[in-house]
Amino acid sequence: MEKINWILNRIISFLLIVHSTFLFIFKVEC
């Protein structure tokens, strides 16, 4: 169970970083 939580946390933080990076690039492009 802890391993699943850890993996979920890693995926969520990774997605957050990717999302904010795309937002930043989008703002710079526009």
The pLDDT assigned to 11 comes to: 98
The pLDDT assigned to 22 comes to: 95
The pLDDT assigned to 20 comes to: 97
The helix (run of H) or strand (run of E) holding residue 20 is helix 2-29
Contacts 24+ apart (CB under 8 A), 7-16: none
d(CA 26, CA 4): 33
Residue with tokens 């969520």: 12
The pLDDT assigned to 26 comes to: 92
The pLDDT assigned to 1 comes to: 82
d(CA 5, CA 2): 5
**Number of residues that make up the chain:** 30
pTM of model > 0.95: no
Q: What is the pLDDT of residues 1-30, one digit of tens each?
A: 899 999 999 999 999 999 999 999 999 887
